[in-house]
Structure 1
Amino acid sequence: MSTWDRKALNFINQTSRWDKDKHISSFLAFSISLVKNLTEANVALQVELEDEETAKVKCASPVHLNDIVMNPDPIRKLLYAQGFKTIYWREIPPAKENVFKEVLPAFSSAIIIPINTTPNNSLLILGWSEPQAFDPGFLECIETMRLRLKEILLQSQQHLYFQRIAVRFSAILHTIPHALVFINNDGFSGWVNQEGAALLGLSGPGEQLPAILSDAMTQLRNKALNTADIYKEAVLLFSSPENSISNWIWQMEHKTLQVSCLPVTTQQISGRLWIFE
């Protein structure tokens, strides 16, 4: 196995372990830094074409290059002219022709690696202060890294997208005036909103073990003035094929709760949603 084959395999192995063991938010920065170290480049960075007017440097090593803003038009023209293939500059063009002069002001060789993603295009830039030969083994190594980087970038973007969705819906659910309690059938996961945590006397909203939620709801039910009626309805609920109930009255000492229990079933989860109004 050649040196460049070993480096390509090293890159895949290390990014695969990071994928499982570390936080996704720093995954891309770690991967770009790893490419820099394995290729012995002097600079490595990501350029993201954010919109029609802005291309921004991210995940840069050295870090002082981060947040440099560039004109995306010349970059797009270069990428389209090269068919979005990896560009190898054994000698960096003169300043007038170097669309990356802001980040490659005094380097001898560079590589521009397009990573096609939507909605934005992203590319990785590597630069060396000394001239590079870019032999066939090196080219094959870079192509292997490019494919893995494309996977990493897509995975990072998907994770951040779902993270934003989770934050958004969590904020919505916590502002609903009803107490919401979800208990997953897996026996390991459950969730309660702000009103639900207050009603059940829990320390706070968010993820909770099903055993804790079930115990808190049992204690709440035992405080009701109509426990016999609640028990009868519970028997019907857990024996009914629909596994649902609504307008279920829990008469407490100082208030009346209207309780609903609905099954929640998707490909990912299966459980019950309790709503206390």
Structure 2
Amino acid sequence: MSNWERKALNFINQTGRWDKEKHISSFLAFSISLVKNLVEADIALQLEFEDEETARVKCASPLHLNEIVLNPEPIKKLLYANGFKTIYWRVVPPPEENVFSEIMPALSSAVIMPVNTSPNNSLLILGWSEPPSFDAGFLECIETIRLRLKEVLVQSQQQIYFQRVAIRFAAILHTIPHALVFINNDGFSGWVNQEGATLLGLSGPGEQLPAVLSDAMMQLRNKAANIVAIDREAMQLFSSPENSIRNWTWEMEHKTLMVSCLPVNTQQVSGRLWIFENSDQDQSFPPLKN
């Protein structure tokens, strides 16, 4: 294994541990510092395109380069001209031709790597006063690092997106006036909204074990005045091809619940959604009494 191959593998291993153990918000700063050390660059920094008029230096080493602002327009023209691929300057152009001259003092070589850091795009810039070999091993190492950065950043962006979606839909489901209980067929996961937690006497909404949810619903069912009819309907429910029931009446002490049980089957999720609707729409669900 060549020296450059070991450096690329080192980057993959260390970013792998970071990806599992630490928050993604500091991943890019860590990666820039790691790359700088691995490839023995004299400077390493992120240049983020904040808006049409501002490209700002961040995560810079040395630190005095941080917060320098460049005009993004000529930089974007350079990127377009190179098809947004990694740019290798074996010899840094003279200042009048170098759009990065302000942040590349006394450098002889540089690598400019476009990185998608949504919502803003960025560049990772490495510079040397004494140029590295720029041989095939070096180029392959840089490309491996670029692909690894892209992989982790795409994963983190997807994770952040799904977290936002989950938070948004959880907020919506918690405000629905019906009690909602979902039990996944995997036997390990379930979910209940605020009204459902109140109805079933649970400590709070959110993720719950299916066993906890099933036990709480059984306790609720056992308190119904028409439990014999409920059990009869339940046998039909679990043996029916449709595997669903709507407007199932549960006569409780102070209210009548209209219960629905609906199958949920998608590529990602398989289970049952229970909906408990208080027939008196002006009343919320009181907590279940033991």
Fold agreement, TM-score > 0.5 = yes
Alignment correspondent of 1:132: 131
**Residue pairs, 1:102-141, within 5 angstroms:** 104=103, 106=105, 108=107, 109-115=109-115, 121-128=121-128, 130-136=129-135, 137-141=137-141
Letter in 2 for 1:259: V
Partner of 1:34 in structure 2?
A: 34
Which residue does the alignment assign to 1:270?
A: 270
Instruction: Calculate percent identity across the aligned residue pairs.
Output: 77
Contact 1:87 1:111 in 2 (8 A): yes
The alignment's C-alpha RMSD in Å is 2.8
Return the alpha-carbon distance in structure 1 between the equivalents of residues 200 and 9 of structure 2.
52
The 1-side partners of 2:63 and 2:165 are apart by 29
Give the aligned residue type for 1:264.
Answer: V
Q: Whole-Å Cα distance in 2 between the matches of residues 160 and 57 of structure 1? A: 24
Conserved 8 A contact 1:28-1:152 = no
Alignment pair present for 1:44 and 2:44: yes
Please name the residue that 1:84 is paired with. 84
Distance 2:51 2:168 in 1: 24
SS of the residue 1:241 aligns to = coil
Instruction: Report the number of matched residues.
Output: 275
Identify the residue that residue 15 of structure 1 maps to in structure 2. Answer: 15
**In the alignment, is residue 261 of structure 1 matched against residue 261 of structure 2?**
yes
Q: 1:134-185 deviations in whole A, cap 9, x for unaligned?
A: 4313222111211222222222221111121111111111111111111001
Counterpart in the other structure of 1:187: 187
**Structure with bigger gyration radius:** 2
SS in 2 for 1:219: helix
4+ residue runs of structure 1 moved beyond 6 angstroms?
62-68
Distance 1:30 1:118, change over 3 A: closer
Between 1:217-226 and 1:239-248, the stretch displaced more is: 217-226
Match of 2:143 in 1: 143
Given the superposition, is the C-alpha separation of residues 145 and 268 from structure 1 closer, same or farther in structure 2, using an over 3 Å criterion? same
Q: Which residue of 1 aligns with 2:252?
A: 252
Distance in 1 (alpha carbons) for counterparts of 2:106 and 2:213:
61
Aligned counterparts of 2:48 and 2:64: Cα–Cα separation in 1: 17
Q: 1:161 to 1:225 in 2, by over 3 A?
A: same
| Equivalent in the alignment of 1:229 | 229
- Aligned-pair distance for 1:216? 0.9
8 Å CA contact retained: 2:32, 2:45: yes
The answer on whether the counterparts of 1:90 and 1:131 sit within 8 Å (CA) in structure 2 is no
- Structure 1 Cα separation of the partners of residues 245 and 145 of structure 2: 54
One-letter identity of the residue aligned with 2:243: N
Counterparts of 2:241 and 2:64, CA distance in 1: 62
Larger mean CA deviation between 242-251 and 104-113 belongs to 104-113
Task: Work out the CA distance in 1 between the residues paired with 2:164 and 2:61.
Answer: 27
Q: Deviations over 1:115-144 (max 9, x none)?
A: 36888644222244x332343132221112
Specify whether residues 163 and 60 from structure 1 end up closer, same or farther in structure 2 by C-alpha distance, changes over 3 A only.
farther
Could you tell me which runs of 5 or more consecutive residues in structure 2 were left unpaired when the two chains were aligned.
Answer: 278-290
Query: Which 10-residue stretch deviates more, 27-36 or 62-71?
Result: 62-71
Cα separation, 2, equivalents of 1:200 and 1:68: 58
- For 2:212, give the aligned amino acid: I
SS of the residue aligned with 2:207?
A: strand
